[in-house]
Amino acid sequence: MSESAILVKNREVVVPGQPLAKGRFKLGRDVYRDESGIIRAKKLGLADIKEDTVSVVPLSGVYIPKEGDIVIGIISRISGSTIIVDIRSPYQGVIPIPRGRATERVDMRKYDLKLGDVILAKVKAFDGSSSLLLTIDMEGLGKLEGGYILEVEPAKVPRVIGKRQSMLTILKEKTGSDIIVGNNGRIWVRSPSLKELLALEKALRKIEAESHVSGLSDRISSFLTQELSD
Amino acid sequence: MPLYVEKKPEVLITEDGVRTDGRKPYEMRPVRMTVGILDKADGSAFIEWGGNKILAAVFGPREVHPKHLVLPDKALVRTRYNMAPFSTPERKRPGPDRRSVELSKVIREALKPAIFVENYPGSVIDIFVEVLRSDAGTRVAGVNAASLALANAGIAMRGLVAACAVGRVGDFVVCDPNHDEDMWGDADMPMAMLMEAEEITLLQTDGPMTEEQFREALKLGRNAIRLLYEMQKEALKRPYQVVERSVRGVV
């Protein structure tokens, strides 16, 4: 076995193909091992080395669905037995409308959806290409009434939520708003007034721009205090 | 009567190897790369190289239209190389022509080995290369910019692709031929490499070279590509360093 070595600083910005480490490390997300055994970055992002696992935290990219993800979708088509949902991804979400005996187990009022309605849904199954099955058949899922939809880059969603929801808590408390963050980068917001909504929008842009610089939570916290002070 | 008449310089390269723009045979024209300049594209880059000004934009992975083009196991990669009507000394008729169709194909094939297409089955990655001002070597400049735009779009890649042209003028093998050398030089050889493995993904040759000259050209091209690769890395990282500096209050 060849010698093990880390070739980058933790949290350093790396480009695709950049060598990150060699030797006995596990492959995390968005990295690959080349023919000579060197672990390289797949995407532009931040190097993330935790114990024996090497990953890259991407800084951009479209939303690729994962089973279990919560997404905010917009109804784009209803055709007979299925509802087609746009989830800001290369893949369209599909919700089958229950029929026959299946209707007895579910709340059929939830399926009374129109074109353009905004829904909170869960990724039930995804085969990686064509079939993306969503469900709204759970407590808390279904049509979102009122509020506004804001968007962030899907790659920045983990930063909007933060470790143990720390960032989301700051955003909610500072602006007094109800916020639901979808893994696909759509964010549903109900604010007390336009002022809070606009401050929130600015804060999201700031999170996007500065996500790679440490101390983000503190900066967002004082930014919102300042924005909402007068 | 054409309004613009090209004039061949009397000497393309002097005996001691000084070119029409004053460069030495191994020297490249000045290059500047900027990333993320288009708001509506998923990724973008702008390259200025000598007199070239080229914009690259990447959209995707996104849904494939028309549907019959879908590849079930990998992403489809489409590329359009286009020259603006005002990019040449005389107005270029807009729209695709024989040359731009070929360059679209060549650029696509130079970039495709770098992309993890298997990570995005059933989707499409669209690459646009728009030449705003042309001054020899647009295809290689386009490859450099498009590679940056792909990385900027957050697409999974084996590495960046860097590209440079080399050529022959008389007995000299020259790096990055300029307009005069492109028009009246003896050979022209654009090349691209997938970094850091340095796998050649584009190699065309127009004009005769001896085996020795070819080997020298290959070496010269590789060295230029290594330099361009360093510039690409710097261009991709720069915006993040600028933000970091402004946040930390360092000038």
The alpha-carbon gap from B106 to the nearest alpha carbon of chain A, in Å, equals 22
Q: How confident is the model at residue B152 (pLDDT cuts 50, 70, 90)?
A: very high
**Nearest CB to A210; choose among B116, B154, B247:** B247
DSSP state of A20: E
pLDDT value at position B251? Answer: 52
Contacts of A45 in chain B (CB under 8 A): 154
Share of chain B above pLDDT 70, in %: 98
DSSP string, B52-65: EEEEEEEEEEEE-S
Torsions phi, psi of A227, nearest 5?
-60, -35
Chain A CB contacts of B236 under 8 Å are 13, 15, 44
pLDDT at A36: 93
Predicted local confidence at residue B95, as pLDDT: 95
Per-residue pLDDT reduced to its tens digit, A33-49: 999 999 999 999 999 99
Burial of B251 (0-12, 13-18, 19+ CB in 10 A): exposed
Percent of chain B having pLDDT more than 90? 95
Q: Which of A63-77, A125-139, A178-192, B187-201 has the lowest mean pLDDT?
A: A125-139
Q: Do A42 and B157 touch (CB under 8 A)?
A: yes
Residue A145 is predicted with a pLDDT of 93
Residues 151-190, chain B: which have Cβ within 8 Å of A?
151-160
- Considering only CB atoms, which chain A residues are within 8 Å of B61? 62, 64, 90
pLDDT of residue A3: 78
Find the residue in B nearest to A56 (Cα). B156
- Cβ separation of A61 and B154 shorter than 8 Å? yes
Q: Is B50 on the interface with A (CB under 8 A)?
A: no
Q: How far is B154 from chain A (nearest CA, A)?
A: 4
Using a CB-CB cut-off of 8 Å, the residues of chain A touching B195 are 17
CB contact under 8 A, A61 and B240: no
pLDDT tens digits, B183-222: 999 999 999 999 999 999 999 999 999 999 999 999 999 9
The residue of chain B nearest to residue A210, with distances taken between CA atoms, is: B243
pLDDT of residue B38: 97
Q: Cβ of A16 and B42 within 8 Å?
A: no
Task: Give pLDDT, residue B7.
Answer: 87
Decide: B93 and B153 in contact? Cβ < 8 Å.
no
- The answer to whether A43 contacts B156, with C-beta atoms less than 8 Å apart, is yes
**Could you say which of A17, A60, A213 has the minimum Cβ distance to residue B153?**
A60
Phi, psi for A104 (deg, rounded to 5): -75, -25
Residues of A with CB under 8 A from a CB of B: 13, 15-19, 30, 32, 34, 40, 42-45, 58-62, 64, 90-92, 128-130, 155, 209-210, 212-213, 219
A15 with B60: Cβ contact below 8 A = no
Query: Hey, which bits of chain A come out as E strands?
Result: 5-6, 13-14, 19-22, 26-27, 31-33, 38-41, 45-50, 53-58, 70-79, 82-86, 93-96, 118-126, 132-135, 142-143, 148-151, 178-181, 186-190
- Reply yes or no on whether the pLDDT at B1 is more than 70: no
Residue B4 banded pLDDT, cuts 50, 70, 90: confident
Instruction: Kindly report whether the global pTM for this prediction surpasses the value 0.90.
Output: yes
Q: What is the pLDDT of residue A130?
A: 75
CB atoms inside a 10 Å sphere around CB B74 = 16
Q: Do A42 and B114 touch (CB under 8 A)?
A: no
Does B249 score more than 90 pLDDT? no
- What is the 8-class DSSP label of residue A110? G
Q: What is the ipTM of this complex?
A: 0.93
Q: Hey, are the CB atoms on B157 and A130 less than 8 Å from each other?
A: no
Neighbours of A81 (CB within 10 A): 9
Q: How many H helices and E strands in chain B?
A: 4, 9
Distance CA A13, CA B220 (A): 30
pLDDT value of position B178:
96
Alpha carbon A78 to its chain's center: 25
| Residue B72 with chain A: CB contacts under 8 Å | 129-130
Helix (H) or strand (E) holding B178: none
Other C-beta atoms closer than 10 Å to the C-beta of A60 total: 20
Chain B residues lying within 8 Å of A18, measured CB to CB: 196, 233
pLDDT bucket at A128, cuts 50 / 70 / 90: confident
Instruction: Give A73's pLDDT tier (boundaries 50, 70, 90).
Output: very high
Residues 6+ apart with CB under 8 A from B146: B45, B56, B58, B79, B107, B111, B127, B129, B161
Those residues whose C-beta lies under 8 Å from the C-beta of residue B29, and which sit 6 or more positions away, are B21, B23, B49, B50, B176, B178
> CB-based contact (8 Å) between B43 and chain A?
yes
Interchain contact, A60 vs B62, CB within 8 Å? no
Nearest to A15, CA basis, from A53, A54, A41, A48: A41
State pLDDT tens for residues B52-102.
999 999 998 999 999 999 999 999 999 999 999 999 999 999 999 999 999
Inter-chain CB proximity B159 and A219 less than 8 Å: no
